[in-house]
Structure 1
Amino acid sequence: MARPGCTCGSASTAATSAVATPHRSDTPRPTSASRPTRSCAVSSPASPGDGVSSTSSSASVTSVTSPAPISLVLASASPARKKLLHAAGIDPSVVVSGVDEAAVLDAARTTYGELAAEDIALLLARAKAEDVAAQIDHAVIVGCDSVLELDGEVHGKPASAAEAVARWQRMRGTAGVLHTGHWVVDTRDSDLGGTGATLGATASTTVHFARLTDAEIEAYVASGEPLRVAGAFTLDGLGGPYVSAIEGDPSNVVGLSLPLLRELLGELGLLWHQLRASGIPT
């Protein structure tokens, strides 16, 4: 039976390979009626040499419509993802989804059987994006989810400090693959450039972990950071010194692949610099 990553038409990308073209849904969302053109009254200036005040006349003038600002909504509570986007010139709104991740995965396993790590990341990213998209119109919603694949097993956030210690004891001196699913939903009106598209893909990056001592592991876990992030480590935080090398996109390890998101937005006809130009501070 086909995996969910195939049925939704997404593309999974390896860290060292070119990003595959993601699937785009052509089912449009309902759109509002076209907005009316505004008009305004202007006064004619006095003619030179009249010596008297001129009379004013009213004329209908069609205003020039500026490109509509593009609202990008991040369906994630991750401060690292928001910081990453902001550093790249995009300041998203944040709306956290209320998705029950365990229920989503249980339903998928009932239908498809055991899931690959990249499918899990993509399914959860899609669930988050579509949950928020159902609440918000006139925006581009981005959902993400990351999981670490280690020795064929899939790991999210550790449930306890003891689990984080045990995981790091397995991870040290080895390598794992960090998969981040990305899903984009366009709820903008068609008269404002909206496509109604829903599409996604997964990016994967190999991470090599340093050979930590037990004391280093215990100190890192005591900081609390490993309990807050998928895979129990960060690249851009306290865990940075414990990552010896990566193969692939570093932003993907932080939680959002900027190159992949650029390609997905390109499928909607959006260029990265257009988002920066829409009143978004850099």
Structure 2
Amino acid sequence: MPPSPLPDVPTVQLVLASASPARRATLRAAGIEPLVVVSDVDEDLAVAEATERYGPLEPADIALLLARAKSEDVAARLDAGMVVLGCDSVLELDGEMHGKPGDAAEAVTRWRRMRGRSGVLHTGHWLIDDHAPGGATLGATASTTVHFAALSDEEIEAYVATGEPLTVAGAFTIDGLGGAFVTAVEGDHHNVVGLSLPLLRELLADAGIGWFDVVGSLGSRPEAG
């Protein structure tokens, strides 16, 4: 059997500034084993301060703002030599931003609005390259239109009772129990999970880092943070 063309370990270590298991799984499936360091960002405070300074923000801008805050928070706590990726997702419905529901009642109310309709899932990505002198800091937002099934009240209540909608932006997943309730997507389906691989590749390229610089063939590394 011919040897793998991939190195055992990547030449550049990618740090994921997120606690999301779905984002980590997406990277691992693509051959990237990230070091996970969870940020300490107060998201509500960050949005409030930005709104006070700049005025009302669009949902896509909020996703990018929070992704940058997470990336900068983690990068400030690490030694040089790594590339940090921060991500944040929000669902836009009728021009309004929705993150994780505050409780089950909010999740039920939101799903009654979402059923049979479409929303836009925005995921902000912010990359800080600290592995070489003069490293880049840059970001962008990926947006994917999501079409939802026409759930009955009973289905909504049963889904919310599982607890899954309370843990994710938009109150749904596409890679879990909620997958049965997403009838179609327009755009990058990875983005709905919370991390757009094509956009990450573009950001890395803009920073002068090749895709296979962050890919390795070995298994998991320890988490931190």
Instruction: Compute the TM-score of the two structures, normalised by the length of structure 2.
Output: 0.91
Matches of 1:172 and 1:95, distance apart in 2 = 35
Percent identical across equivalent pairs? Answer: 65
Q: Provide the C-alpha distance between the structure 2 equivalents of 1:207 and 1:69, rounded to a whole number of angstroms.
A: 36
Q: Aligned letter for 1:111?
A: R
Structure 2 alignment gaps of length 5 or more: 1-8, 221-225
Q: Paired residue for 1:74? A: 16
Residue 140 of structure 1 corresponds to: 83
What CA distance in whole angstroms lies between the structure 1 residues aligned with 2:218 and 2:123?
A: 25
1:93 aligns with 2:32: no
SS of the aligned residue for 2:214 comes to helix
Which string of whole-angstrom CA distances, capped at 9 and with x for unpartnered residues, describes residues 77-96 of structure 1? 00000000000000001000
Quick one: distance in 2 between partners of 1:199 and 1:166? 36
2:156 corresponds to which residue?
217
Offset of residue 280 of structure 1: 4.4
1:281 to partner: Cα distance: 4.2
The answer to which structure has the higher helix fraction is: 2
- How far does residue 68 in structure 1 lie from its aligned partner after superposition? 7.9
Given that residues 10 and 213 in structure 2 are in contact (C-alpha distance below 8 angstroms), is that contact kept between their aligned partners in structure 1?
A: no
Shift of 1:111: 1.1
- Provide the rounded CA distance (Å) in 1 between the counterparts of 2:45 and 2:105: 25
Q: TM-score normalised to the size of structure 1?
A: 0.73
Structure 1 unmatched runs, 5+:
1-66
Specify the SS of the correspondent of 2:158. helix
The residue identity in structure 2 corresponding to 1:226 is P
The one of 233, 236, 247 equivalent to 2:172 is 233
> What is the aligned residue count?
211
Match for residue 181 of structure 1?
124
Deviation at 1:103, TM superposition (A): 1.1
Give the CA RMSD over aligned residues: 1.5
Q: Name the residue aligned to 2:59.
A: 117
User: SS state of the match for residue 167, structure 1?
Assistant: helix
Larger Rg: 1
How far, CA to CA, are the matches of 2:200 and 2:150 in structure 1?
Answer: 33
Q: 2:106 is aligned with what amino acid?
A: E
Partner of 1:131: 73
Provide, for residues 171-221 of structure 1, a one-character-per-residue CA deviation record: whole Å limited to 9, x for no partner: 00000000000000011133xxxx421100000000000000011000100
User: Which residue type is aligned with residue 89 of structure 1?
Assistant: G
Q: 1:150-187 CA deviation, whole Å, 9 max, x = no partner? A: 01110000000000000000000000000000000011
Q: How many angstroms does 1:69 deviate by?
A: 2.9
CA displacement 1:228-264 (0-9 Å, x = unmatched): 0000000000000000111000000000000000000
> 1:99 corresponds to which letter in structure 2?
V
Alignment of 1:35-46 (within 5 A): none
Matched, 1:150 2:93: yes
**Cα gap change, 1:138 to 1:170, in 2 (>3 Å):** same
CA drift of 1:128 comes to 0.1
- List aligned pairs for 1:8-87, cutoff 5 A: 69-87=11-29
| Amino acid of the structure 2 residue aligned with 1:250 | H
Q: 1:274: Cα distance to partner?
A: 2.2
Which residues in structure 2 correspond to 1:263-282 (within 5 Å)?
A: 263-277=202-216, 280-281=218-219
Determine helix, strand or coil for the equivalent of 2:120.
strand
- C-alpha contact 1:90 1:280 (8 A) present in aligned 2: no
**Offset from partner CA, 1:118-162 (integer Å, 9 cap, x none):** 000000000000000001121000000000000111000000000
Q: Structure 1 244/270 Cα, relative in aligned 2: closer, same or farther at 3 Å? A: same
Q: Which residue of 2 aligns with 1:255?
A: 194
More contact order relative to length (CA 8 Å, sep ≥ 6) = 2
